[in-house]
């Protein structure tokens, strides 16, 4: 995932003939396992909403706060951690954030009521923003310079695997046992990741710290603001609907839970393929590729209620949705690299923050619409927001070519 980002990094690091050791690659594997656990935990509620809302006695829209809450907190922690932990050993940061993730899963698994559940999800948010701001930047320090690109690609593979395997597997476990078992199983995965990081991740002394003025300077640039607005609208549109896709497929499309599990698995698999397919065109024609994928996303969301009584049609639309969103994180990653060439850390932190805000706002507004107007209206909202994102994209003018030549590490998750 995000292959354009990883290959660019290798171009700027000094080459060396020294190969990375097995222990160095094991440290990369430990961080990759953490990435898998973080993404699985973040989006696990998407497949569990009907179960959680029924057992804890809340409406499906209210249950969507399980996605909204960590998104809001992660949006703050992404730049906040970079500003506040600039001198802290990155190894200690990784261990602290992963321990918080473990606590989040355990609280969620044993939550006696919805309030405790939200506390657990808030812990996830506090850890999430910091993890994604640090994980990919640490990749180049875990291995020899010649292997930096491969190391980052490996860590980001954890994101893709969580999308393809983690979330559908959680839904499957909930169907066999309960949603609490799904959180406990994810907690076990986090515990393994924590032990692996404790044993394998070396000391990572801090480098230069991000300054608050770097963030404000970036936000004053029109091109950067429009780029972030585009990303926010599209992610908000996606998650306004995706958060409630399981209740829609159950109640409106009348699919059984087994079919939904396989369909969500297909969503992830086809998104994985789409990501690699888009990498062949995104550099040559970034704007056209991004516009095409946003259009497919908007069309899928708007057509979902129209074909709700045709199960084959709904299934095809879900897969088309997977094609679009599978490619969009890559498109946006490369776009933000080109939009913020002079301030890579600031651009990366703001990118993580705006994505998390969009996830939170999209799921929150979507939940309000679901409770008051129904899930079909929520899909119309998601499609409309995506179309506005397309308008924002088309309004962005060309940037000087020199800007795109500077590689910038992007530290965000494309679900």
Domain chopping of the chain, boundaries: 3-405
Residue 240 has pLDDT above 70, yes or no: yes
Q: Work out the percent of the chain whose per-residue pLDDT is above 90.
A: 28
**How far is residue 310's CA from residue 400's CA, in Å, rounded to a whole number?**
48
Q: Are 67 and 120 in contact (CB under 8 A)?
A: no
Residue 365 CA: distances (Å) to CA of 70, 205, 220, 337, 398: 15, 41, 28, 29, 32
pLDDT at 152: 66
Q: Please, is 82 exposed, middle or buried when counting C-beta atoms within 10 Å of its C-beta (0-12, 13-18, 19+)?
A: buried
DSSP state of 208: P
CATH number of the domain at 3-405, please? 1.20.1250.20
The beta strand positions in 258-353, using DSSP E, are none
pTM above 0.75, yes or no: no
Q: Are 330 and 414 in contact (CB under 8 A)?
A: yes
Quick one: tokens of 314?
Answer: 């709904």
Task: State the pLDDT confidence band at 415, using cuts at 50, 70 and 90.
Answer: very low
Task: Convert the pLDDT of each residue in 31-52 to its tens digit.
Answer: 989 989 998 998 888 778 888 9
**How far is residue 71's CA from residue 129's CA, in Å, rounded to a whole number?**
9
Q: Quote the mean pLDDT of the chain.
A: 81
């Amino acid at each position: 995932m995000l292959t354009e980002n990883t290959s660019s990094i290798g171009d700027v690091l000094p080459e060396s003939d020294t190969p990375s050791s097995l222990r160095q690659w094991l440290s990369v594997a430990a961080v990759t396992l953490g990435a898998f656990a973080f993404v699985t935990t973040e989006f696990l509620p998407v497949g569990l909403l009907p179960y959680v809302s029924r057992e804890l006695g809340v409406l499906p829209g209210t249950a969507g706060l399980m996605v909204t809450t960590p998104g809001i907190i992660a949006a703050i922690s992404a730049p906040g951690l970079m500003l506040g932990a600039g001198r802290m050993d990155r190894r200690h940061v990784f261990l602290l954030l992963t321990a918080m993730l473990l606590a989040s899963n355990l609280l969620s698994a044993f939550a006696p009521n919805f309030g405790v559940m939200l506390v657990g999800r808030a812990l996830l948010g506090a850890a999430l923003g910091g993890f994604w701001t640090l994980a990919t930047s640490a990749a180049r320090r875990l291995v020899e310079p010649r292997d930096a690109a491969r190391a980052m690609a490996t860590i980001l593979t954890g994101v893709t695997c969580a999308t393809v395997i983690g979330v559908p597997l959680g839904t499957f476990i909930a169907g066999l046992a309960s949603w609490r078992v799904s959180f406990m199983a994810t907690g076990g995965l986090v515990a393994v990741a924590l032990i692996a990081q404790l044993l394998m991740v070396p000391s990572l002394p801090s480098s230069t710290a991000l300054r608050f003025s770097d963030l404000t300077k970036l936000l004053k640039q029109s091109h950067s603001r429009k780029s972030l607005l585009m990303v926010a609208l599209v992610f908000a549109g996606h998650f306004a609907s995706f958060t409630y896709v399981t209740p829609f497929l159950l109640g409106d499309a009348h699919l059984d839970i087994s079919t939904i599990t396989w369909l969500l698995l297909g969503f992830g698999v086809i998104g994985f393929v789409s990501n690699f397919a888009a990498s062949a065109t995104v550099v040559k024609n970034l704007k056209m590729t991004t516009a095409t994928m946003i259009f497919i996303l908007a069309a899928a969301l708007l057509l979902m209620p129209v074909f709700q009584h045709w199960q084959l049609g709904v299934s095809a639309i879900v897969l088309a949705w997977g094609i679009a969103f599978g490619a969009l994180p890559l498109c946006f990653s490369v776009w933000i690299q080109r939009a913020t060439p002079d301030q890579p850390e600031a651009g990366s932190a703001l990118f993580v923050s705006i994505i998390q805000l969009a996830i939170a706002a999209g799921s929150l507004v979507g939940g309000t619409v679901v409770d008051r107007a129904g899930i079909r209206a929520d899909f119309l909202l998601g499609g409309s927001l995506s179309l506005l994102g397309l308008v924002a994209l088309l309004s962005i003018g060309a940037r000087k070519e020199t800007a795109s030549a500077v590689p910038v590490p992007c530290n965000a998750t494309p679900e």
